[in-house]
């Protein structure tokens, strides 16, 4: 399972990268705005900095909602670095643009996916990644994990190469449950990754080992 971090915060990206287990980064316009990154040039520059801070794929989202605009913005993003994955919204123009980029060998991530039918269309358009938003479905009392399970079933039925990128992951149990049901990738905040490190028996066990070692030295 690949681990992506879902942030535009360079410090957090570097912290996750330093752990040695990071496979990439996802961003979105809200995460960029949260870091105070505004204006086209600053946003492009920030994507360059993210690519330099991480080994692996970096999803960069288009803002246009029409096909021509998506193609233009996606090409500008893809030209920044081979690590860039063009992130496209799950609307008709996004699917059409996804097909355009897949035919050109440019990686894509179809985002804002909330149904199996949408995921099927993204796979048909040759998406590299499809992003079902697990946490946002849970927020409205719908089973987000169930959506990922159903997409897994459909993709396996037809051997689609599109990778299921479990997005909107909020906590460690989302990560563990996504791994159990076969999501290819998860993207979440730094806390959803570092939280996996923690267990009280690890802490108490280590404290005992160190104390026993100290007794003999
Ligand atoms: C995915 O690519 C999105 O950036 C993200 O996972 C959305 O997460 P949220 O629902 O916590 O905003």
* Cα torsion angle, 199, 204, 208, 214, sign: positive
What's the 133 CA to ligand 1 centre distance in angstroms? 7
For residue 83, the domain's CATH number is 3.20.20.70
Pick the atom of ligand 1 nearest to 28's CA: 4
Confidence of residue 217 (pLDDT cuts 50, 70, 90): confident
Confidence of residue 215 (pLDDT cuts 50, 70, 90): very high
pLDDT in tens, 103-156: 999 999 999 999 999 999 999 999 999 999 999 999 999 999 999 999 999 999
Q: Give the C-alpha separation, 216 to 64, whole Å.
A: 67
Given this model, what pLDDT does residue 216 score? 86
Given this model, what pLDDT does residue 14 score? 97
Look at the block and give the residue holding tokens 């939280």: 195
pTM for this predicted structure: 0.96
Could you tell me the residue range of the domain that residue 13 belongs to?
A: 2-215
Given 87, 104, 107, 124, the catalytic residue? 87
Which residue has its alpha carbon closest to ligand 1 atom 1? 167
Best residue among 24, 28, 142 to mutate for probing ligand 1's pocket (most ligand atoms within 8 Å of CB) is 28
How far apart, in Å, are the Cα atoms of 146 and each of 113, 129, 152, 153?
Answer: 13, 18, 10, 11
Q: Cα 196 vs. chain centroid, distance in angstroms?
A: 17
Q: Is 152 exposed, middle or buried (0-12, 13-18, 19+ CB in 10 A)?
A: middle
The number of distinct structural domains making up the chain is 1
Look at the block and give the residue holding tokens 């520059």: 45
Given this model, what pLDDT does residue 78 score? 98
Q: Which residues line the pocket of ligand 1, CB cutoff 6 A?
A: 6, 26, 28, 111, 131, 133, 135-136, 167-168, 187
H-type alpha helices, 79-161 = 92-103, 116-124, 134-139, 144-158
Which residue has its alpha carbon closest to ligand 1 atom 11? 168
What's the 168 CA to ligand 1 centre distance in angstroms? 4
Q: For 166-187, what is the mean pLDDT?
A: 98
Q: Provide, rounded to the nearest whole percent, the portion of the chain with pLDDT above 90.
A: 99
99 catalytic residue (yes or no): no
């Amino acid at each position: 399972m690949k681990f992506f971090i879902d942030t535009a915060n360079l410090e957090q990206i570097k912290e996750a990268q330093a752990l040695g287990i990071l496979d990439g980064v996802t961003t979105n316009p809200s995460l960029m705005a949260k870091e105070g990154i505004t204006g086209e040039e600053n946003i492009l520059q920030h994507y360059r900095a993210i690519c330099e801070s991480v080994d692996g794929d970096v999803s960069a989202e288009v803002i246009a909602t029409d096909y021509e605009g998506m193609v233009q913005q996606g090409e500008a993003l893809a030209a920044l670095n081979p690590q860039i994955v063009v992130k496209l919204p799950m609307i008709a123009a996004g699917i059409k643009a996804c097909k355009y980029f897949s035919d050109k060998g440019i990686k894509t991530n179809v985002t804002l996916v909330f149904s199996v039918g949408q995921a099927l269309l993204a796979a048909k358009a040759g998406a590299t990644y499809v992003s079902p938003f697990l946490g946002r479905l849970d927020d409205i009392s719908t089973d987000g994990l169930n959506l990922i399970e159903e997409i897994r079933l459909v993709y396996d039925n037809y051997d689609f190469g599109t990778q299921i990128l479990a997005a909107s992951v909020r906590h460690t149990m989302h990560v563990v449950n996504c791994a159990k049901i076969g999501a290819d990738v998860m993207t979440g905040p730094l806390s959803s990754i570092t939280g996996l490190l923690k267990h009280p028996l690890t802490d108490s066990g280590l404290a005992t080992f160190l104390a026993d070692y100290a007794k003999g030295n």
